[in-house]
């Protein structure tokens, strides 16, 4: 008999209370369409209020770290997990199809396409590593990720993503003169452009392309791609139609436009 | 010194002024270039030399064609800019709406409200006015509840 898979959303709100407010809005916006959806909210104790006491929300503590999202992803209590950046909002009933999206894959991402409008929305999308001849190409977006934690390799992948990003970030902070030289050895080539070290997508690119054991993983792209992570920077046309999608987006990403300084 | 007029176009619908790129080949072998506007007539009503030279070097048809292409280019650029401005304005409104919603949900009576339906209507509001209408309803409801319990 097939054992029952637990399914739930992982949301992380660290560093700024604005992310907590937005995370609560995201959770409630999903509940508008899936009232019994299960959530794991990783946040800092200082942000919590009574809204997180909902029986459908499990609360976990996380560090005041810029990419606590990776810690939360690696520690999801659910078998089938949908991670969503806290500065998103659910706006379409098709969210109910989320668990079917995994298909036969171990992980599903939204892909950054070569479209000019999409490319222009991101600070950095590619860079070379001269010593290895590699070209880093950040095509997988980390804004959402659907993954199957029942597969131990996926679990390892998520843990490595967090552990390796912490090292990479320490080197980035050191390169900016904000931290002492890291104690850990660097896992990435010394001539990796330091600007790349800011991005968890770089770690993701490395894991997917450079770590042999993860070649076994089946990594897919959401069928309707940007509907699952539609950035407001993509804009709408004069008739209100969202660019780069054929139907109203399911998840709207307010990445650059959200007021992160907001304090109630 | 000889003059060469390139890329001419009509400056007006009367077709009595032309703007073109003027290339002058000087006797010492040097070349200079500038953009100049030439009138068709002198003060006493005769055709100007430069006008006649432009027509001779390019022909009326070529000038008509250049003028049309230039107008099309300008129209297209204007339309693109207008579209971009409209998209940008729309995006600004939506960004403002989202941030306003987040602030609204932090108002104590809204934050503590258990009326999920009205909260959902606030969240799904398409513009700031719709949001304010549902916000008013929810605040009123919370106020009435407060009065009742006193």
Closest Cα of chain B to A11: distance in Å? 17
Query: Regarding predicted confidence, which is higher, A3 or A98?
Result: A98
Instruction: Tell me which chain A residues have a C-beta less than 8 angstroms from the C-beta of B106.
Output: 21, 264
Residues 6+ apart with CB under 8 A from A150: A5, A79, A80
Q: Which of A51, A238, A240 sits opposite B111 (nearest CB)?
A: A51
B53 confidence band (pLDDT: 50, 70, 90):
very high
Mean pLDDT calculated for residue range A58-79:
93
Q: Which of B90, B91, B106 sits opposite A21 (nearest CB)?
A: B106
Contact B123 A259 (CB under 8 A): no
For A14-67, give the DSSP string.
-SSHHHHHHHHHHHHHHHTT-TT--EEEEE-GGG--GGGG-TTEEEEE--S-TT
A261 belongs to a structural domain: no
**Chain A contact for B143 (CB, 8 A cutoff):** no
B93 belongs to a structural domain: no
The rounded distance, in Å, linking the Cα atoms of B131 and B150 is: 29
Contact B90 A236 (CB under 8 A): yes
Averaged pLDDT score across all residues of chain A: 92
Interface residues on A facing B, Cβ-Cβ cutoff 8 A? 18, 21-22, 24-25, 28-29, 31-32, 49-51, 89, 91, 232-233, 235-238, 240, 254, 257-259, 262, 264
User: What is residue B33's three-state secondary structure?
Assistant: strand
Look at residue A184 and tell me whether its pLDDT is greater than 90. Answer: no
**pLDDT value of residue A255:** 78
B95 belongs to a structural domain: no
Contact B90 A22 (CB under 8 A): no
**pLDDT value of residue A189:** 92
**pLDDT value of residue A64:** 83
B119 belongs to a structural domain: yes
The rounded distance, in Å, linking the Cα atoms of B61 and B36 is: 20
Specify which residues B22 forms β-bridges with: B5, B34
**pLDDT value of residue A124:** 72
Averaged pLDDT score across all residues of chain B: 94
Contact A258 B102 (CB under 8 A): yes
- Do residues B115 and B72 share a domain? no
**pLDDT value of residue A241:** 92
**pLDDT value of residue A263:** 59
Kindly calculate the radius of gyration of chain A based on its CA atoms and give it in whole angstroms. 18
Mean pLDDT calculated for residue range B109-124:
94
User: What is residue A125's three-state secondary structure?
Assistant: coil
Distance of CA A36 to the CA centre of its chain: 23
B126 belongs to a structural domain: yes
- Residue of A90, A232, A243 to mutate for B, most B C-beta atoms under 10 A: A232
Q: Which of A24, A237, A262 sits opposite B99 (nearest CB)?
A: A262
The secondary structure element, H or E, covering residue A154 is helix A152-175
A210 belongs to a structural domain: yes
- Do residues B77 and B110 share a domain? no
What is the tens place of the pLDDT at every residue in A104-159?
999 999 999 888 888 877 767 788 999 999 999 889 999 999 999 999 999 999 99
Total CB pairs under 8 A between chain A and B? 64
Contact B90 A32 (CB under 8 A): no
- Do residues B67 and B124 share a domain? no
A90: domain CATH number?
A: 3.90.550
Specify which residues A164 forms β-bridges with: none
- Residue of A50, A236, A240 to mutate for B, most B C-beta atoms under 10 A: A236
Q: Above pLDDT 90, what percent of chain A?
A: 73
A98 belongs to a structural domain: yes
The rounded distance, in Å, linking the Cα atoms of B103 and A14 is: 18
- Main-chain dihedrals φ then ψ at residue B16, nearest 5 degrees: -115, 10
Side-chain-facing half-sphere of A36: CA atoms under 13 Å: 2
The DSSP code for B48 is P
A1 belongs to a structural domain: no
The secondary structure element, H or E, covering residue A176 is none
A224 belongs to a structural domain: yes
A1 confidence band (pLDDT: 50, 70, 90):
very low
A2 belongs to a structural domain: no
- Do residues B7 and B78 share a domain? yes
Specify which residues B39 forms β-bridges with: B17
**Chain A contact for B85 (CB, 8 A cutoff):** no
B33: containing domain: 2-82
- Do residues B72 and B28 share a domain? yes
A141: containing domain: 7-253
Among A5, A50, A19, CA closest to A260: A19
Count: domains in chain A: 1
B38 belongs to a structural domain: yes
Look at residue B7 and tell me whether its pLDDT is greater than 90. Answer: yes
A259 belongs to a structural domain: no
User: What is residue A237's three-state secondary structure?
Assistant: coil
- Do residues B6 and B78 share a domain? yes
* From A72-86, B25-39, B64-78, B82-96, the region with the lowest mean pLDDT: B82-96
Mean pLDDT calculated for residue range A85-93:
96
User: What is residue A92's three-state secondary structure?
Assistant: coil
**pLDDT value of residue A19:** 94
pTM across the whole model: 0.86
ipTM of this predicted complex? Answer: 0.84
Count: domains in chain B: 2
Please, what is the angle between helix B60-104 and helix B49-58, to 10°?
90
A171 belongs to a structural domain: yes
- Do residues B78 and B111 share a domain? no
Among A253, A23, A263, A244, CA closest to A144: A253
- Do residues B111 and B44 share a domain? no
Sheet with A140-148, strands from edge to edge, namely A57-61, A39-43, A7-13, A80-84, A140-148, A107-111, A219-221
Mean pLDDT calculated for residue range A248-254:
95
3-state helix, strand, coil in chain B (%, to 5): 60, 20, 20
């Amino acid at each position: 008999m097939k054992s029952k898979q637990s399914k739930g959303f992982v949301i992380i709100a660290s560093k700024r209370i604005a992310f907590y407010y937005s995370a609560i809005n995201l959770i409630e916006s999903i509940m508008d369409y899936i009232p019994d959806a299960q959530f794991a909210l990783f946040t800092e104790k200082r942000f919590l209020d009574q809204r997180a006491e909902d029986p459908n929300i499990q609360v976990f503590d996380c560090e005041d770290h810029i990419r606590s999202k990776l810690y939360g992803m690696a520690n999801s209590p659910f078998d089938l997990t949908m991670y969503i950046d806290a500065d998103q909002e659910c706006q379409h009933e098709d969210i109910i199809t989320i668990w079917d999206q995994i298909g036969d894959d171990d992980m599903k991402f939204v892909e950054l396409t070569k479209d000019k409008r999409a490319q222009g929305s991101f600070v950095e999308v590619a860079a070379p590593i001269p010593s290895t001849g590699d070209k880093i190409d950040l095509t997988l977006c980390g804004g959402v990720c659907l993954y199957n934690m029942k597969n131990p390799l996926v679990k390892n992948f998520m843990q490595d993503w967090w552990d390796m990003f912490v090292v990479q970030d320490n080197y980035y902070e050191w390169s900016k003169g904000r931290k002492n030289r890291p104690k850990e050895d660097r896992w990435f080539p010394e001539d990796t452009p330091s600007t790349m070290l800011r991005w968890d997508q770089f770690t993701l690119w490395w894991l997917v392309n450079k770590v042999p054991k993860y070649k076994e993983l089946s990594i897919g792209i959401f069928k309707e791609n940007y509907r699952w992570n539609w950035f407001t920077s993509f804009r709408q046309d004069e008739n209100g139609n969202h660019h780069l999608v054929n139907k109203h987006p399911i998840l709207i990403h307010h990445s650059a436009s959200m007021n992160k300084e907001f304090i109630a | 010194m000889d003059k060469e007029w390139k890329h001419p176009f009509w400056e007006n619908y009367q077709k009595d002024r032309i703007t073109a790129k003027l290339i002058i080949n000087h006797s010492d072998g040097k070349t200079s270039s500038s953009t100049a506007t030439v009138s068709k007539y002198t003060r006493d009503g005769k055709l100007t030399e430069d006008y006649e030279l432009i027509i001779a070097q390019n022909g009326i048809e070529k000038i008509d064609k250049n003028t049309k292409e230039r107008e099309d280019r300008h129209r297209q650029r204007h339309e693109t800019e207008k579209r971009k401005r409209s998209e940008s304005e729309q995006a600004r409104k939506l960004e403002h709406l989202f941030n306003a919603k987040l602030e609204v949900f932090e108002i104590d009576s809204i934050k503590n409200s258990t009326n999920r339906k009205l909260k959902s209507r606030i969240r799904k509001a398409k513009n700031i006015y719709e949001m304010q209408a549902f916000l008013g309803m929810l605040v009123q409801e919370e106020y009435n509840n407060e009065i009742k319990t006193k």
